[in-house]
Amino acid sequence: MNLQHLAWTLYARRSELTVRFSISATSVDDLIEKLDAATTADRNTIGGDAVSLASSKAKILGVFTGQGAQWAGMGRELIASSEFASSRLLYFDSVLQLLPPENRPSWSLASKLLNKDDIQEAALSQPLCTAIQLILVDLLRACGIEFHTVVGHSSGEIAAAYAAGLITAEDACRISYYRGLHAAVACGEGGKAGRMMAVATSFPDAQELCSMYSNFLLSPSSISLVISA
């Protein structure tokens, strides 16, 4: 018996019953012995774990995308058909218009999506992707659906932080706008294109690294760091 094939069949090709019982084993012989014991003994005496699916609350994982998943007119049908989605998008536009005059966008989130404009550049895609994901989170909450765990990739971390209740929707709009705005102008000497870098380090170590370059300042306007403890 190929245990990998058996595990796949039990996982994906069997009916989901109301109670599941799992056993941890270190070898095939150990597994056979514990399965035999499970048919004759109290499950509490053989180290297994039983889970009642009928009574347990579903745990939903929310995965939030960064730049690259956008397309012209994304969310257009949702905005046109949902008064709630439309009003939220207009509200997000009003939040951006409260930024300092020199930073305010000359465009609106609603116009870019409804007109199916090209939104490939970071200054557009990041706030737009964030706005759509905020709306989806709000719609799910209105239906009584909450995430147990969230994870975000790149700028998707902004919407993930909102879904986790760590930042407000207003802050999410502002963060995504400034992140996209400054990502668009980030470059090296002579206009050389920048690159994304993931660093597993502490904030003090990152400051020390950045201080090695006299023409580089560690500030919100020049770098975005995600510190992984």
Q: Which of 184, 182, 126 is nearest to 156 (CA)?
A: 126
122's CB contacts (< 8 A; 6+ apart) are 67, 179, 180, 181, 183, 184
Based on the structure, what is the number of domains in the chain?
3
CATH of the domain at 94: 3.40.366.10
> Average pLDDT of the chain?
82
The domain of 27 spans 3-52
In this structure, is residue 219 part of a structural domain? yes
**What confidence tier does 107 reach under pLDDT thresholds 50, 70, 90?**
very high
Q: What is the pLDDT of residues 26-54, one digit of tens each?
A: 888 888 888 888 887 655 554 556 666 55
pLDDT of res. 191: 75
User: Do residue 33 and residue 72 come from a single domain?
Assistant: no
In this structure, is residue 217 part of a structural domain? yes
User: Do residue 94 and residue 160 come from a single domain?
Assistant: yes
Please, what is the end-to-end C-alpha distance for the chain in angstroms?
42
User: Do residue 68 and residue 178 come from a single domain?
Assistant: yes
pLDDT of res. 158: 95
Is the CB of residue 147 less than 8 Å from the CB of residue 138? Answer: no
Whether the predicted pLDDT of 16 surpasses 60: yes
Instruction: DSSP for 213-226, please give it.
Output: STT---STTT----
In this structure, is residue 204 part of a structural domain? yes
Distance CA 115, CA 128 (A): 13
In this structure, is residue 37 part of a structural domain? yes
User: Do residue 80 and residue 45 come from a single domain?
Assistant: no
**What confidence tier does 94 reach under pLDDT thresholds 50, 70, 90?**
very high
Distance CA 91, CA 93 (A): 5
User: Do residue 169 and residue 210 come from a single domain?
Assistant: no
For residue 79, with 0-12 CB atoms within 10 Å meaning exposed, 13-18 middle and 19 or more buried, which class applies? buried
In this structure, is residue 188 part of a structural domain? no
In this structure, is residue 128 part of a structural domain? yes
User: Do residue 105 and residue 163 come from a single domain?
Assistant: yes
Is the CB of residue 152 less than 8 Å from the CB of residue 159? Answer: yes
> Model's pTM, two decimal places?
0.63
User: Do residue 48 and residue 65 come from a single domain?
Assistant: no
Q: What is the pLDDT of residues 162-183, one digit of tens each?
A: 999 999 999 999 999 999 988 8
pLDDT of res. 167: 94
Whether the predicted pLDDT of 92 surpasses 90: yes
User: Do residue 47 and residue 111 come from a single domain?
Assistant: no
pLDDT of res. 41: 63
Torsion of CA 214, 187, 160, 143, to 10 degrees: 150
Q: What is the pLDDT of residues 114-158, one digit of tens each?
A: 888 888 888 899 999 999 999 999 999 998 999 999 999 889 999
* Cα 57 versus chain centre, distance: 22
